[in-house]
Structure 1
Amino acid sequence: MGLTSTTVLLLAVLCTVLLFAATVWLWPRLARQGWVPVLGRVGLVLAIQVLLFSSVALEANRTFLFYGSWADLFGQQTGVGVLDPHAIGNPGVKLLGKQEVGVPGSGSPQLSGEVQKISVQGERSRIVSPAYVYLPPEYFKKEYEHTTFPAVVVLTGFPGTAENLLKGLRYPKTAWTQVKQKKMQPMILVMMRPTVTPPRNTQCIDIPGGPQTETFFAKDLPKAISGTFRVGTAPRNWGFMGDSTGGYCALKIVLQHPEAYAAGVGLSADYKAEVDRDSGDLFHGNKQEEKRSDLLWSLDHLPQGHSSFLLTTSKHGEVNYRATQRFIAKVHSPAHVSSITLDTGGHNFNTWRREIPPALAWLSGRLRAR
């Protein structure tokens, strides 16, 4: 039974209810004096608390998808993958499955589009990571069979899973609706988590002697996707967006790799890599890379290409409001910057769902199919 399955949640709730009923039934017997009845009362109260907390935690995880599996929860996914020489088709991508988008016409890709689960294998970084690729309905229509499409890499935060982007933030449904309403052009979405070597929070940095995460997102991923799907290889064909840690990655990669991506969106983004227990040592004494991981420092000291940035924050509820204003002030020609500032909005899915539709429309206006 999977960590996010309904069966596991219902089992936890059932055990909680049964133990509560048993506690009510047994409590008179445990009301006597003596250390055995006292231990019994303490044990029952603690057990109920543990089961109740587990039930709430399971439901929260189902809602926000912090962890996608038991192995993910207990940190058992630690290995860095290698290239699979037996991959079918393009050596950088392997198809793992398909699923419906959940919009009118589901079951017919020409009407609803399609979500494909793939494994991306980095040619340079040697990293292997799963991803979900949303292909719009136009991708399957006869009149578009020779058309290329813009692509947007979409990252969730840490420690979220890529499923967040499908279920919690509803990117495919939003993109489908935006096109139907003629607010954006059809675009391919490549949806992933920012850490490609869980449970470590690699934050899109090439770690000395460790995962080359920046190389994976800046070089390997566009090459693998362009070699498999009808996506161009020029910067104007590629955008990057994400929330929280994923937003930091989007801004970092676009800022430092204008040769690969033309536009980036940071939803409630961080502006500096956090070194903590989840990240481990990211720099191993390399002070230059440590400075470079600070996006405000990069804006001051690195060349700014013909890149476009969109930042989102809120005056009340977000801690990045002042840092966002500093980022905006530091962007200069030939780069461009736009922003969405809400009056109120916390660091959560509800806020990002308000920002995703205009952010996708903004990206659509800055990307080209060819």
Structure 2
Amino acid sequence: MELTSGWLLVVLGVVAVVAFVLLVLGYPRTRRRWLGGVSRGSEALVLTLTVLLFAGAALNDQYLFYVSWSDLLGSGASVSAAHVGGTARQAVEAKVKGPGLGPVQVPPVLPPLPQPGQRIQRYMVTGARSHVTAEVLVYLPPGYDPKAAKKYPVIMALHGLPGHPEGYFTGLHIDQTLDALVATHQMAPSVVVIPQINSPSSLDTECVDAPTAAGPKDETWLAHDVPTWTVTHFAVQTARTSWAAMGFSFGGWCAAMLGIRHPDVFAGSIVLEGYFRPDFSRAYDPITAGSAAARGYDLVRIVRADPPPIAMWVMASRSDSLSYPTTAEVLRYARPPMSVTSVLLKTGGHRVAIFLPFIRTSLTWLGQTLPGFRP
């Protein structure tokens, strides 16, 4: 019986019902009180454990944390790496359509930091075009001085769902990884901007702009408002070769979407167990199937028809039914000027422990690939 099989839920459900009935009816009945007490206690324990296992299996079915028994038991997974499409140089030197960040007017004096001397700055930002209001965390490089002439490259880091910007520090420890790479001259000091990517935060918006006027405009928030706000608040570079989007799972999809649909802003994307078509929930699906909007957010279709000039680093597990199928399609169709470096695991579920070891690898790739991030 497979871990993600529906039969596992059926078996656990039947066991739970049987244990509940036996407990309520007081079976098995015996004249010895101590034996009856042991029986009731055992049934209660079985019922509790079965209910917990049922809940865990149901969540696993939904989110695919573990995709097999071997994955659950910690069996090692083989890794294969490959490169498809053009060279990184072709991706970063190709001409792009769109204004990029060049037209943004940088104020002669940047606003003061809300927490002077701190490496992590916290803001509530309202987008001028999207009208989204959400939290944005900013991680500053060592020695950052807004009054100095030095300008830094930018990583826009995008969280998963459910998720929050804080997770990049408490769970992924991107601060420690970046500091280590900078200290060993594997990457240039960088500003990391971590916005709340779905607004409202409880809604799985898939980072798209809802076609209706009343719907959230999360793509506009991420592709235009947050970059413009960053340029006008921090000493950062505006060339697209100094901007990269990075994300995992839901955030990985968003990072891929930003790079493929907005290569004039982002020359690089890091996609950790992400996917290349939006995966809306039943509660919210603003895009009509077959519509122009649906075609526009089908990144596989875009790559197949007209590959954008972007360098991507992607990681997925072949047994992950969420991230792998569309990742495989993109790898099949990528061609110049698009450049894709991939890391594929033979097995592994859709969870942090799978992609966590590759955060350093992907950031090292960024430091070797985009000119703005080279040490």
TM-score (ref. length: structure 1): 0.67
Match of 1:162 among 157, 162, 165: 165
Task: Give the conservation status (yes or no) of the 8 Å contact 2:273–2:315.
Answer: yes
Partner residue, 1:231: 236
Match of 1:283 among 273, 284, 287: 287
Task: Give the conservation status (yes or no) of the 8 Å contact 1:94–1:118.
Answer: no
Q: How far did residue 346 of structure 1 move?
A: 2.7
Partner residue, 1:219: 224
Q: How far did residue 208 of structure 1 move?
A: 1.8
Paired amino acid for 2:293: E
Please state if 1:182 is matched with 2:179.
Answer: no
Question: Aligned partners of 2:259 and 2:266: how far apart in 1?
Answer: 5
Paired amino acid for 1:255: I
Task: Give the conservation status (yes or no) of the 8 Å contact 2:277–2:326.
Answer: no
Percent identity between the two aligned chains: 27
Q: How far did residue 167 of structure 1 move?
A: 0.6
Partner residue, 1:244: 249
Deviations 1:202-257 (A, max 9, x none): 11111022111111111111100011011122211210010011001101111011
Question: Aligned partners of 1:325 and 1:281: how far apart in 2?
Answer: 24
Task: Give the conservation status (yes or no) of the 8 Å contact 1:93–1:119.
Answer: no
Question: Aligned partners of 1:314 and 1:352: how far apart in 2?
Answer: 9
Q: How far did residue 306 of structure 1 move?
A: 2.2
Partner residue, 1:336: 339
Q: How far did residue 344 of structure 1 move?
A: 4.0
Task: Give the conservation status (yes or no) of the 8 Å contact 1:148–1:369.
Answer: no
Say which SS state the counterpart of residue 372 (structure 2) adopts. coil
Partner residue, 1:314: 317
Please state if 1:261 is matched with 2:266.
Answer: yes
Q: How far did residue 328 of structure 1 move?
A: 1.4
Residues 156 and 283 of structure 1, relative CA distance in 2, 3 Å threshold: same
Deviations 1:22-47 (A, max 9, x none): xxxxxxxxx9xxxxxxxxx99xx69x
Q: How far did residue 97 of structure 1 move?
A: 5.4
Question: Aligned partners of 2:320 and 2:258: how far apart in 1?
Answer: 26
Aligned residues: 284
Match of 1:127 among 122, 132, 146: 132
Paired amino acid for 1:191: I
Paired amino acid for 2:233: T
Question: Aligned partners of 1:149 and 1:369: how far apart in 2?
Answer: 9
> Which deviates more from structure 2 when the two are superposed, residues 331-340 or residues 242-251?
331-340
Question: Aligned partners of 1:165 and 1:243: how far apart in 2?
Answer: 10
Residues 195 and 214 of structure 1, relative CA distance in 2, 3 Å threshold: same
Task: Give the conservation status (yes or no) of the 8 Å contact 1:263–1:367.
Answer: no
Paired amino acid for 1:298: I
Task: Give the conservation status (yes or no) of the 8 Å contact 1:247–1:267.
Answer: yes
Task: Give the conservation status (yes or no) of the 8 Å contact 1:265–1:311.
Answer: yes
Partner residue, 1:206: 209
Gaps of 5+ in 2: 1-29, 31-39, 60-106
Question: Aligned partners of 1:223 and 1:290: how far apart in 2?
Answer: 27
Paired amino acid for 1:338: T
Residues 214 and 355 of structure 1, relative CA distance in 2, 3 Å threshold: same
Paired amino acid for 1:138: G
Partner residue, 2:307: 304
Match of 2:297 among 289, 293, 296: 293
Paired amino acid for 2:223: A
Partner residue, 1:105: none
Partner residue, 2:358: 355
Deviations 1:292-315 (A, max 9, x none): 2221112123x4332111110134
Task: Give the conservation status (yes or no) of the 8 Å contact 1:138–1:186.
Answer: no
Question: Aligned partners of 2:128 and 2:112: how far apart in 1?
Answer: 13
Question: Aligned partners of 2:371 and 2:304: how far apart in 1?
Answer: 26
Structure showing greater relative contact order (alpha-carbon pairs closer than 8 Å, 6 or more residues apart): 2
Partner residue, 2:68: none
Paired amino acid for 1:362: W
Spell out the pairing of 1:89-168 with structure 2 (5 A cutoff).
114-140=119-145, 145-168=148-171
Paired amino acid for 1:288: A
Question: Aligned partners of 2:250 and 2:235: how far apart in 1?
Answer: 28
Question: Aligned partners of 1:166 and 1:298: how far apart in 2?
Answer: 33
Question: Aligned partners of 2:320 and 2:187: how far apart in 1?
Answer: 29
